[in-house]
């Protein structure tokens, strides 16, 4: 299984269940928004692949494939934490939570359902803010 095939496999399994966690945690939401600002590099996808460790790609467990994809991906975790507005001690924990919930992917994209959820939240906040800031018309 190639990196691209593995990525497509996980994106096809996108679900709404992790959104429950996302809805309760502002730091996860901010970190998810910042995820797309990160630059990524990839190692040699043929070395240490899950198929090499488990026989055939069909034999590899999802967890093995997921871990393999992340093992060949490098990015600046510290920079991402800064862009996300996280405290230094939160960065690794928030990353592991987003990764574990499969809300982020090792190609720099994020769960489409999670992004849709964020769009709904932002739209509601912008609508609320515009109602508060809109000047009231005065009658003469």
What's the pLDDT at 40? Answer: 84
138 domain-assigned: no
Domain that holds residue 107: 3-133
Question: Which of the two residues, 131 and 133, has the higher pLDDT score?
Answer: 131
114 domain-assigned: yes
62 domain-assigned: yes
Question: Which of the two residues, 49 and 95, has the higher pLDDT score?
Answer: 95
Q: What is the mean pLDDT of residues 105-134?
A: 86
Give yes or no for residue 75 having a pLDDT over 60. yes
Q: How many domains does the chain have?
A: 1
pLDDT for 54-63, tens place per residue?
433 557 889 9
139 domain-assigned: no
What is the DSSP code string of 37-57? T---EE--TTTT-HHHHHSSG
């Amino acid at each position: 299984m190639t990196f691209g095939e593995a990525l497509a496999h996980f994106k096809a399994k996108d679900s709404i269940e992790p959104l429950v966690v996302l809805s309760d945690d502002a730091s996860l939401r901010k970190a998810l928004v910042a995820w797309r600002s990160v630059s990524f590099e990839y190692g040699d996808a043929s070395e240490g692949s899950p198929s090499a460790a488990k026989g055939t790609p069909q034999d590899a467990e999802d967890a093995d494939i997921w871990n393999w994809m992340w093992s060949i991906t490098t990015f600046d975790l510290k920079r991402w934490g800064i862009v996300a507005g996280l405290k230094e001690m939160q960065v690794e924990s928030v990353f592991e939570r987003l990764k574990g919930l499969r809300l982020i992917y090792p190609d720099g994209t994020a769960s489409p359902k999670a992004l849709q959820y964020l769009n709904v939240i932002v739209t509601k906040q912008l609508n609320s803010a515009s109602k508060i800031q809109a000047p009231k018309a005065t009658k003469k």
